[in-house]
Amino acid sequence: MELLKKFEAHAATRDALASQGTAPTEITIEKILSPTEAMIDGRHTLLVGTNNYLGLTFDPECIAAGQRALQEEGTGTTGSRMANGTYSDHKMLEQELAEFYGYPYGMVFSTGYAANLGALVALAGPDDAVLLDADAHASLYDGCKMTGAAIYRFKHNDTESLESRLRRLGDHARRTLVVVEGLYSVFGDKAPLAEIARIKDKYGACLFVDEAHSLGVFGDNGRGVVESDGILDQADFVVGTFSKSLGSIGGFCVSRHAELPLFRYASRPYIFTASPCPSVIATTRMALQQIRKRPELRTQLWDNATRLYNGLKEMGYELGPDISPVVAVRFVERAKALGFWQKLLKSGIYTNLMQPPATPDGSSLVRCSITAAHTTEQVERILAAFRGAAG
């Protein structure tokens, strides 16, 4: 059928990857052993590509909270928030997330992807403009497209490019949404949020910050880069996901603006998606408590991230510009990156292979995400594997 011919290119990509050994898209985790270990292809494997930054997926209190919710409220809500899908725990989590950021308003979505789509389509429309960082996540690009607003990209983390765009918009800058991430998940580099906030205030724009990879990681209280850069009172909307530091699935938006609760009437991804199941909400609420009461998790995470980054840098690998829990090794050649990734996997180290078009600059990456649950010995094992794969 003519309609299906477009998939020939995708089939070619799949076959090319499979012809060189294990295909990254075909990896199956056969058994999870701990937050940092699993069985893959019958081999005991160290997990270094899960985004499980605080290692809370096996936290006993989180598991117990989920089990209680399953017993008391069942397996699912079977409906959207606008129908039968709002339980008291959904409301409690929204309140707790808002209080965590020091904001009055919070809203929970079924996934992090849906949180970005849902908040963006409620915020912007055909008469508005969006200024989007060039390296922003696919969910941010997709959400911006759905708004019907005029979309303008500015150079990644380039505040001069951002200000130039706002200046050219003139009075329309006051109807403009600036969309950035706190920590970018490809190279692990941090946005200059303090300067971005200063510029958006200067032109009367609105600031939307995705803290998916920085929640629980940055800031004295784990609120993300909005906290570490001191712009909690300048960010207009902060979104994030439960599937990284919080160890579950779902997403949220918090704000100091009273219009956020009205998103429930304007956001199609919110209105027409089944709400998160009770056990997910329960484990997420408990994980948020862990972030608050266990700052030592962040300390351990940053110790591990610094050790891994500095160790790889000493070996001569080309890395991202900032030390963070996301550590990406850059390769110019796609085939070399694939071969290197496969060597690591055969040595029992699972990482993420990222290749164009998923990478912003056309390079290929072997990407690590380190966690608080990794031991010093495991970090040394990762470094040894990278040393061996280079030989």
3-state secondary structure at position 384: helix
CA distances 5 to 10, 12, 169, 301, 357, Å, are: 10, 12, 41, 46, 20
Amino acid letter for position 194: A
| Cα–Cα distance list, 22 to 176, 328, 333, 338, 385 (Å) | 45, 20, 18, 9, 18
Could you say which of 190, 244, 343, 374 is catalytic? 244
**Distance separating alpha carbons of residues 256 and 234, to the nearest angstrom:** 9
Residues 352, 24: Cα–Cα separation, whole Å: 8
Q: Of these residues, 110, 139, 185, 363, which one is catalytic?
A: 185
116 — phi, psi (to 5°)? -65, -50
Would you call 275 a catalytic residue per the annotation?
A: no
Q: What does DSSP assign to residue 232? A: T
Q: Which residues of 335-360 are buried (b: 16+ CB within 10 A; e: fewer)?
A: eebbebbbbbbebebbbbbbbeeebb
Chain-centroid distance of CA 168 in Å reads 31
At residue 386, what are phi and psi to the nearest 5 degrees? -65, -40
Q: Locate 234 and state its tokens.
A: 């300048």
Catalytic residue (choose from 156, 200, 213, 343): 213
Which residues are within 8 A (CB) of 110 and not within 5 positions of it... i.e. 6 or more apart? 249, 250, 251, 273, 274, 275, 276
What backbone phi and psi angles, to 5 degrees, belong to 43? -115, 135
Maximum distance among all Cα pairs of the chain, rounded to whole angstroms: 61
Residue 22: count of CB within 10 angstroms of its CB: 16
Can you read off the two tokens belonging to residue 56?
Answer: 């809370």
Annotated catalytic residue 374: no
Structure-token pair, residue 283 = 């484990």
185 is a catalytic site residue? yes
DSSP states of 277-346: PHHHHHHHHHHHHHHHH-THHHHHHHHHHHHHHHHHHHTT----SS-SSEEEEEES-HHHHHHHHHHHHH
Residues 262 and 126 sit within 8 Å (Cβ to Cβ): no
Q: Which residues are marked as active site?
A: 185, 213, 244
